[in-house]
Amino acid sequence: MKGNIIIKNASELVTCSGFQARKGPEMTNLHIIHDGSVVIEDGKISFAGRTSDLPDYHDPGRFDVIDAEGKAVLPGFVDSHTHFVFGGYRAEEFSWRLNGMSYMDIMARGGGIVSTVSATRKASLEELVDSGRKRLDSMLSFGVTTVEGKSGYGLDRDTEIRQLEAMAELDRTHPVDIVRTFLGAHAVPAECKGKTEEFLDFIQGTVLPEVAEKGLAEFCDIFCEKDVFSVEQSRRLLMRARELGFKLTLHADEIVQLGGAELAAELGAVSADHLLQASDHGIEELARAGVVATLLPLTAFSLKEPYARASAMIDKNCAVALATDLNPGSCFSESIPLLFALATLYMNLSVEEAVTALTINGAAALDRADSIGSVNVGKKGDVIVLEFPSYRFIPYHVGVNTVEKVIKAGNLVYDKLNGGNSIVK
């Protein structure tokens, strides 16, 4: 692919400039250039500045040109926590929740993660790739250019490997970049009920080393939660993962205040996710250790739970990221517009903080802030063009997609104006 493009005359070029996570009050600074232009050569950004300063290219035919007059240009969004590769659906559980059943009640009834495990174990590699591709197409239309994907719906050797292989295939063949996470300790499978330690020994001693040897995942995650995996069990698995070369992340303090945030800080995890019940001390420890607090308001919304205390985290100098948590149970949504609405209207984030959380801080939550998440010279040419003149329209046009074009590594890969929401391969 060509990878050479010039985007000029943008009413706002929102650069989110930087090479590391923005913390606390820094999250409000978007580094906006008015009447801005971006040049991408061979897939990398070579210029970002005012249109009046645009270099004179002697061979303009090398470049495709987009006139963004009256439109805002931003870095591609980074969705840093999803479970987008899975089999089956759980629509009935949504009705159960509407009737008052809690997430843990549904798990006790045989629903939840274990239900998806059954369907995913039956799915072939081709089926997982096909359904995953359709979800990625939808994410791309919302401006997502990099996504994290977790395994965790196999809870056995074969299916966990198959999920990761499906993501590897999609990473090779789909415009969206995929960061793979091994989440073999997502729950205890039905066949190991009452044998949590034995199951954890199997994941840690058999599956995790194979995933490492085959290079199938970059991160290791665990569901650190009451009645799932304890803090000590989580520590043991994650320490072994670190020894094997994995970067660490974890589901922390989602349902009860267990100490997951403190564990993430202790182990130097890249991110700690959910954090609805994180303690003040846990938040302070995350800030001290430089762990990105990845918040998932779509899940709290779907479960009708209180939102994570985003403002308190920012006040304590945390770096906050936002992600969708797309999954078949607690959050069957990849909607970036809804995510922005919830973050600004109900979590009290400013629009600027929300943009930062989905760009440079999302990249930092995946340890990729050096290469994506902002419009900086040398970074990958992943940018989006909005239909409107300002980033402020993203939450203002409540729940409606404002992304018109998506450029990935200097190639136009999505254009709402081309055949009506068609993906350009």
Q: For the chain, percent helix, then strand, then coil, each to nearest 5?
A: 40, 25, 40
Judged by DSSP in three states, 109 sits in coil
Q: Rounded mean pLDDT of 56-78?
A: 91
pLDDT tens digits along 347-361: 999 999 999 999 999
Residue 420: pLDDT band (50, 70, 90) is very low
pLDDT of residue 110: 73
Number of folded domains in the chain? 2
Q: Is residue 372 within 8 Å of 56, Cβ to Cβ?
A: no
Closest CA to 55 of 41, 44, 68, 43: 41
Task: Residue 230: give its domain's CATH number.
Answer: 3.20.20.140
Distance, in Å, from the CA atom of 290 to the CA atom of 24, rounded to the nearest integer, reads 11
Judged by DSSP in three states, 200 sits in helix
Mean pLDDT score across all residues of the chain? 95
Is there a single domain that holds both residue 395 and residue 256? no
Distance, in Å, from the CA atom of 187 to the CA atom of 222, rounded to the nearest integer, reads 9
CA atoms within 13 A on the CB side of 56: 1
Closest CA to 244 of 273, 265, 215, 270: 215
- Paired strand residues for 247: 219
% of the chain surpassing 90 pLDDT: 89
Angle between helices 157-173 and 125-141 in degrees, nearest 10: 50
Is there a single domain that holds both residue 31 and residue 177? no
Distance, in Å, from the CA atom of 45 to the CA atom of 381, rounded to the nearest integer, reads 5
Query: Residue 71 sits in which domain range?
Result: 5-75+372-423
Last residue of a domain, one of 318, 333, 365: 365
Last residue of a domain, one of 335, 365, 395: 365
pLDDT tens digits along 87-123: 999 888 888 888 888 877 887 777 788 889 999 999 9
Is there a single domain that holds both residue 201 and residue 156? yes
The model's pTM is: 0.96
